[in-house]
Amino acid sequence: MESKDQQTLFTIDVSRTSAVIQSELVEQSILTDDAIVKYPTRNLLLLHKAEAFLGRKNVKCRDAFDIKILKDSGAELDGNFKFHLQDGVVSDRLEDPDFINQRIAAVTPKRCESELREYLPEDVYRQLAENEFEPLRQSLRDLFAEWLEQ
């Protein structure tokens, strides 16, 4: 966060998986014109979530849920974002469709229930559970479709 005179008041680390692409930060005044907040675009958040989903030691269903929400809101991995993903910390994993499919298959109803039930609003959780969390897996297949077709 910066003051109007460009003095940084504080920062928040939004990702530990890759560098922030400065052109993908949005600036917005809050409360007064003296305080400006910079935050990442949805596309940048989607890039970071894709990296997290593939790069973590263990699959986290929260990453899958966040990817679905971001995709549903219009976020895309196109152009520069695909390049960053392919050239980043998970590039070797993108070259292995079996690895990606195994990660997606690990988003099981049992794992989703234990990781998501207490965090999601009841109606959102119930709708996903009724469909055995298939919408999460489908969002992942859509996101990684280019690399699954290899």
The DSSP-derived string for 111-134 is HHHHHHTTTS-HHHHHHHHHTTTH
- Say what the pTM is: 0.79
Q: How many CB atoms lie within 10 A of CB 141?
A: 14
**Beta strand extents in 7-125 (DSSP E only):** 25-30, 32-40
Q: How many CB atoms lie within 10 A of CB 116?
A: 20
pLDDT number for residue 79: 83
pLDDT digit string, tens, across residues 79-118: 888 888 888 788 899 999 999 999 999 999 999 999 999 9
Q: Is the pLDDT of residue 64 over 90?
A: yes
Q: Where are the domains of the chain?
A: 2-40, 42-148
Q: Is the pLDDT of residue 16 over 50?
A: no
* CA distance linking residue 72 with residue 134, whole number of Å: 14
